[in-house]
Amino acid sequence: MRRSVSSSADFLVIGSGVAGLRAAIELSREGRVVMLTKGHPLQSASIFAQGGVAVALSEEDDVSIHLTDTVNAGHGLCRLEAVRALVEEGPDRIQELIRWGAKFDKVGGKFAFAREAAHTRSRILRARGDATGNEMVRVLMAHAGRQKRIHRMTFHFTVDLVVEDGRCCGAVVMNENSGEQFILPAKAVVLSTGGAGQIYARTTNPPNATGDGIAMAFRAGAQLQDVEFVQFHPTALYVPSSPPFLLSEAMRGEGGQLRNHKGEAFMERYHPLGALAPRDIVARAIWAEMAATRSRHVYLDVTHLGSDFVKRRFPTIYATCLRHDIDITEEWIPVSPSAHYMMGGVWTDLNGATTLPGLFAAGEVACSGVHGANRLASNSLLEGLVFGMRAGAAAIAWAARQTVPDLAKQVAALRHGERHRLDDAEKLRNSLRRTMWGQVGIVRSRESLVRAVAQLSRWGRMVSESFATRADLEVKNMVQVAHCVAEAALWRENSVGAHFRSDFPDSKRPGWKRHSQISLQEPSIGWERQEHRRPVVVRRSRKSQSRGRQRQDLA
């Protein structure tokens, strides 16, 4: 197998969803950009985003109201400055997208704003009914394709980040077709690899959402934050032996009702907003109803909305359910919660800079502080646009002072390093997903988390080698991210937002506003053999430093 060093780029973008595309467009103003995509570019989670994009553009809305709704949904753990940047810059980013050709749905010549859970105003823009993410990615890909400085490399898996003299200056990349591994140097790197939903047995995420960016950044020494906060979407289609399919929250925003097996609309017993309560509350309410009735699902009922309206408003959902022999205009839809979104991730400042100089992050892989303990519905696509641009601008400013270092030692280490095969990677992957779903899922306890941490530690030792295939490398990343999630969940001895501890149900215990921060005590070069080390949960004070950079007090 040939391994080499590739020609350098000014900027390297890893991932090609909304955040990565917007970052690449910004970066192309100042230099050559290489975009690395695992698999096919149309497999990103952004494309599958149905509900829409939240933005304060309607006559009844205001950025201050959007800010308040976001902070309230985040249960007091949002970073206020990040939320302010999101809601204030969001309208400009959406208008920019419209100028580039985005076509959002209209009624009577005006944008058709919808409402979703925990929003006090109708502010959700949608495209083709329930294909908003697809439309946004289409426009961004077309605009990026017109930028001559952007070079795309599809079916290229990023194995690890390259760190030299304390800064990130490239990546180890594998050609998925040939198996060749090489080093791609760059002045700055932007991570936009999405989330890690595949660490759970039930997830709305596509199969490639294996936490690669989070794991790579963690191994390179960047700090993670708030990874215990995993949002479980309340309503994913439940069909035995079939992957969960997301049923947009907009269905409840349009009047859909949740019913248990007795046919009762139960949400009013759990929250005054009923079916439009925040996602974490709805997910746990469904979980409680399932437990009480000993069933594997509840039902979402939209039959009363009218056949023509449902088909027009939710064409993708209607067609998908029909393929499973469920006519949602006539039948209740079996639904149950599924892992959906990572609120935590690689810590960044307001401009996407991580604690590792030269490394920037945006989108679901990052913890920008926007979401706190629970993401407000449809804020994620807007976050990708706003912070993708911010990360790009910050990477430009950083790169202006940098040169690409000599990476001869890293090239030699890559050339002579051994590659291994993981015994039965698929079995380990499935076991991991079942463990996370059962022990680190919607309801957690010290007992379940201790068991999970112990098992993940054992698996961590199994994946401490360097591997040669994408499947093995993905399992390695999944184990490491899952271990971080379990450790952070064990550390947080209170319940807030998406994190619920049955043994600590009170959200107001002392120190509840502190943020989990996880890092390796001794970062290692990713492509050299490394002994498995347990993630360490650390807390930093207002005056603490991280790699020479002043950190904000996020508490």
3-state secondary structure of 269: helix
Distance (Å, whole) CA 548 – CA 303: 59
Beta pairing class for 181-191 and 224-225: unpaired
Sign of CA dihedral 227, 378, 45, 82: negative
Tokens of 288: 């409680």
| Contact (Cβ atoms closer than 8 angstroms) between residue 491 and residue 226 | no
Q: Return the amino acid letter for 303.
A: T
Catalytic residue among 167, 202, 279, 313: 279
Q: SS3 sequence, 401-470?
A: CCCCCCCHHHHHHHHHCCCECCCCHHHHHHHHHHHHHHHCCCCECHHHHHHHHHHHHHHHHHCCCCECCH
How many whole angstroms separate alpha carbon 157 and alpha carbon 311? 38
The candidate with the shortest Cα–Cα distance to 518, out of 545, 546, 538, is 538
CA distance 244 to 337: 9
* 399/396 Cα distance (integer angstroms): 5
Q: How far, in Å, CA of 324 to CA of 552, rounded?
A: 49
Phi and psi at residue 366, to the nearest 5°: -100, 155
Q: End-to-end distance of the chain based on CA atoms, in angstroms? A: 49
Amino acid at 108: G
Distance of CA 468 to the CA centre of its chain: 26
Looking at the DSSP assignment, which residues form a beta bridge with residue 182? 4, 173
Residue 421 known to be catalytic: no
Helix (H) or strand (E) holding 301: strand 298-301
Q: Please, what is the Cα angle at 151 between 149 and 156, to 5 degrees?
A: 160
How many beta carbons lie within 10 A of that of residue 423, not counting itself?
9
**Edge-to-edge strand order for the sheet containing 230-237?**
245-246, 230-237, 333-342, 298-301, 257-259
Tell me the Ramachandran region of residue 255: left when phi exceeds 0, alpha when psi lies from -120 to 50, beta otherwise.
left
Show which residues are catalytic. 279
